[in-house]
Amino acid sequence: MALLMRGRRAEWLVASAMTTYLWLCPFAKVEESFNLQATHDLLVFGTQNVDQFDHLEFPGVVPRTFLGSLAVAGASRPLIWVLEMLGTHKFWMQLVTRWVLGMMTLGGLVFFSDGVGMRFGRDASRFLLLICSCQFHLLFYMSRTLPNVYALALVLVGLGFWLRWQRSVFLFTFATVVFRGDTVVLFAPLVLNMLLSRRVSFFRMVWWGLSAGTMSLAVTVLVDSYFWQRWLWPEGEVLWFNTVQNKSSEWGVSPPLWYFTSALPRALQATALLIPLGLSTLLPTLLKCRSLHGVVWSFKTVPIVDWSVMSLVWPVFVYLGLYSLLPHKELRFIFNAIPILNMVSAVVRYSKDESLTSVEQLLEFDYLLTARDPTPMEDNFQYIAGFDAFAGVGLVDHRVTFKTKKMVFLMRNREIIP
């Protein structure tokens, strides 16, 4: 692990893990279909031939924005030109565009980790990336064309600016207005944090928010109305569908504590055990004590909570608590919380006093965190995810021959009828 803490090797490790997951799990699920198809149509037909786009014939339950697909398509265009010259199959176009999205999101993660390094030291920054590389879900979903992932890329950059005490309101507002309206559940506590810490005045915050919101709304309405060929605000219709009409619960409901008892333990894995150490000044000190006198002295003189960390992470706890009130729950809804919780775990690496020798020995246990081999849990997640898109696996296993003839399939009583 010490070798990976040098230079930029941690960044290369995270990028390699993300690329590996993409290669081992190449198929897409239905939630990713719109953005993936939109990226394909932009690359194949261009922006002039909207009438040939797939979404006009298959619009889906609610409309989605094209802005994320435009960004990915534009960034992927040079690589797609190379693929076209080589005459490769379109399947490689899907992998390339998703890899580009993964690298864009990964860039946001690295920017966020650099912000952590500026606050807590370079070791904490690198250890954050090592923690992320040893977890499955965050890196697996980074290359998935979900609205949550597009929002995550902006939120990570915004959090990086936030840790640098710089303006981040525009990025949070843009992510909320354009990609995921529920990002406001995280945005609101962060704004409250900035106001309470007196980093910005109330009236200036209101001015920034209104300006950023107006600009973001204008961009998404103008661009998406062109592609959908009617005036609309896509994320506004999504909010109406999910919040006002409350139809998201038709896709299933979960218990109130599901995020804390199921989603986060699976996403964070054993590194969740480091969070109490990161939030506390007392616990790491107690781990260094070698006598009863030292324990008593620590309880009398050392604060229980490390407020330098708690002041940054309490908005995430509010975010998770508010999200738990919604009946329909999915892990991808709380992607924004995972990097900040990993930051708390990574802060253990930075010395709160003089040394953390006992804690560093604790971190060397392979069952807690290892940069050499994936954990058994991670292996299981990777194996299951590889067979998650059963249609794709079925096509490969049965060697289906694709034909140019268009066919429509109907589902009736679990029977497929051509």
DSSP string across 251-301: G----TTHIIIIIHHHHHGGGGGGHHHHHBSHHHHHHH--SHHHHHHHHHH
In a domain, 276, yes or no: yes
Counting the structural domains of the chain, the total is 1
Length of the chain: 418
In a domain, 361, yes or no: no
Structural domain of residue 44, as residue ranges?
Answer: 3-293+300-344+369-417
Confidence of residue 30 (pLDDT cuts 50, 70, 90): confident
Q: Which residue has the tokens 């998650």?
A: 388
In a domain, 384, yes or no: yes
CA 126 to mean position of chain CA atoms: 18
Task: State how far the Cα of 265 lies from the Cα of 252, in Å rounded to an integer.
Answer: 20
In a domain, 352, yes or no: no
Residue-wise pLDDT tens digits, 256-289 = 899 999 999 999 988 888 898 888 877 777 777 7
| Cα angle for residues 189, 194, 198 (degrees, 5° grid) | 140
Above 80 in pLDDT, residue 372? no
In a domain, 234, yes or no: yes
- Percent of all residues in the chain with a pLDDT value above 70, rounded to a whole number: 80
Residue-wise pLDDT tens digits, 73-117 = 999 999 999 988 888 888 899 999 999 999 999 999 999 999 999
In a domain, 349, yes or no: no
Task: State how far the Cα of 5 lies from the Cα of 127, in Å rounded to an integer.
Answer: 7
410: which strand partners? 417
Which of 18-32, 191-205, 399-413 has the lowest average pLDDT? 399-413
- Percent of all residues in the chain with a pLDDT value above 90, rounded to a whole number: 39
- Run of H or E residues at 14: helix 9-24
- 345 or 353: whose pLDDT is higher? 345
Phi, then psi, of 305 in degrees rounded to 5: -105, 140
pTM score: 0.83
In a domain, 71, yes or no: yes
Above 80 in pLDDT, residue 327? yes
Q: In the prediction, which pLDDT does 182 show? A: 83
Within 8 A by CB and 6+ apart from 367, the residues are: 270, 375
DSSP string across 206-239: HHHHHHHHHHHHHHHHHHHHHHHTS---HHHHHH
In a domain, 359, yes or no: no
Q: In the prediction, which pLDDT does 404 show? A: 43
Residue-wise pLDDT tens digits, 149-160 = 999 999 999 999
